[in-house]
Amino acid sequence: MPPSSLRVVYAFAREMHPKTTDVFIQYGTAGFRTKASLLEHVVYRMGLLAVIRSRVKNGRTIGMMITASHNLEPDNGVKLIDPHGEMLEQSWEELATRLANVSDNDLESTTEQIIKEVNADMGLKASVFIGMDTRYTSPRLAAAAVHGVMALKGTPKEFGIVTTPILHYCVRCRNDNSYGKPTEEGYYEKIVGAFKNIRQKLSVTGNYNTILYVDGANGVGGKKLNIIKKGLDGELDLVLHNLGGNGGKLNLNCGADYVKVSQKPATGFEAPPLQRVASLDGDGDRLVYYYLDQNENMKLLDGDRIATLLASYITELLAASGALGLRLGLVQTAYANGASTKYITQKLKIPVTCVKTGVKHLHHAALSYDVGVYFEANGHGTVVYSDAAKRAVREAADTGDVEQRKSAELLLDLIDMTNETVGDAISDLFLVETVLCARGLDARDWLAQYTDLPCRQLKVTVQDRNVISTADAERKCTAPEGLQSRIDELVDKYTDGRAFVRPSGTEDVVRVYAEADTQQAADKLAAEVAQAVFDLAGGAGERPVLPE
């Protein structure tokens, strides 16, 4: 593409999407995420980068998702999706950050420079799929994305309001038609179709019941489940709440992140005692469960619980199908409850890999197994199957004895029900409900599999989060000097104590996590570690306060 044809890049920026702020913004774990008012020029420029990326990938489709996931309504964000539905290749994050922050006057030359650096053939066709969440700022930002794609003569396709995982799925299908149809309807056909198939093979037994309350976080996931609900044929009785009506605000005192971090039930409705509730997040890529006991105490079933439930059932089906020699492993982060790791390794005898926070790290590690189960404790995760694993299961379904075929066919349905591209609250909900039904479990039975250690998460506002450096999958702090030794001293005072700190990927805060044998001890340890961070890492604002 000759330099003269890049003039439109500057013209669009100057006339329609000018850079009006000097606030530096960085492509992080979940792309760019900040106040929506600061994002229009960033999203326009990501449209440019998506076209360049598509051409580097020989014209394959790239995705752009406009969302701030579990953040509150005033925020928004954008992230790019690579051809197999995975997160943007890490080496391109620096290019995204550079392009987002240059002045309008330098945008044309920087775009040209990036095209040369990545050796993009600008004569190739380019395809970009664009989706958005339910925020009132999303349509304006999606329009900016379209203009960015058009400025470099790419072809945009808008999907409107979709969950993040649906867009990931459609990108994967567009580039690999063996995976499914690249439409929202195609997603329902595959995921929901597999769920209905498997439920017709299972009997409702034991303590399981088909009623499920759902907290939709006033976001897109609940709206899509409302569409799906009509075609479930009674296999699952969804009672949907927090669908965005009655003044409900996105992710405000509801949704997976609120339930997990605050350890409180979602507001907006009341579920009967002992009734399981599934909480989605705003863009439908996270899922946690909970229930209230007879004393109205909340019992949380988070990503760790989902991971152990799925991994144990898949292990059982693999053995029963005779598909031997496949390596199944589970991937966690340092946020995984220590009790879950002990249960997985000692009781289930499943290997565990611990990686840095961020789904891209978990996804990559999961691919090293034939069957990789990965979940963050926050409820973001999925299962990935190698081609060898799929071949082995299909072979067992074709050539095994009667019982082996039965198990292999259940596993094939489970594979089809799984969105392997990214964590997907809707897909994961159907997976969980399948396993609970197959085993005749209610939420109390599920919780009883192991006992979580009490934990607490806090955040400390600091002047610059980059003063914190970590190693060993973020479990050890290497800077500032003296902080890790102070954390070690504090942890040693508590039975079953464990704590770590890490810089946030999105804001100038340091996140603190602590576990101990009682909730009081976990709270106190977290507060003491927070004070140490404040003192040694340049705390800003009010000092953390120790609990009484």
What torsion, rounded to 10 degrees, do the Cα atoms 168, 170, 171, 172 define?
A: 90
Q: How far is CA 342 from the centre of its chain?
A: 24
Catalytic-residue membership of 69: yes
Residue whose C-alpha is closest to residue 254's, from 513, 447, 34, 72: 72
3-state secondary structure 301-353: ECHHHHHHHHHHHHHHHHHHHCCCCCCEEEEEECCCCHHHHHHHHHHCCCCEE
**Residue 31, helix vs strand vs coil:** strand
With beta carbons less than 8 A apart as the criterion, state whether 405 and 186 touch.
Answer: no
**What is the largest distance, in Å, between two alpha-carbon atoms of the chain?**
71
- What radius of gyration, in Å, describes the C-alpha atoms of the chain? 23
Nearest-angstrom CA–CA distance, 388 and 306: 25
Q: What's the burial of 69, exposed, middle or buried (CB within 10 Å: 0-12/13-18/19+)?
A: buried
Beta-bridge partners for 470: 477
With beta carbons less than 8 A apart as the criterion, state whether 54 and 126 touch.
Answer: yes
Q: How far is CA 384 from the centre of its chain?
A: 14
Give the active site residue among 4, 5, 37, 69.
69
Residue 208 in tokens: 């399981």
Nearest-angstrom CA–CA distance, 319 and 404: 9
For the chain, the straight-line distance linking the first and the last C-alpha, in angstroms and rounded, comes to: 66
Neighbours of 205 (CB within 10 A): 11
**Residue 111, helix vs strand vs coil:** helix
In sequence order, which ranges of 57-202 are alpha helices (DSSP H)? 93-101, 104-117, 138-151, 164-175, 184-201
Residue 419 in tokens: 């969105």
Residue 294 in tokens: 């007879």
User: Which residue has tokens 């299972």?
Assistant: 202
Residue type (1 letter), 318: L
**So which residues are the catalytic ones?**
69
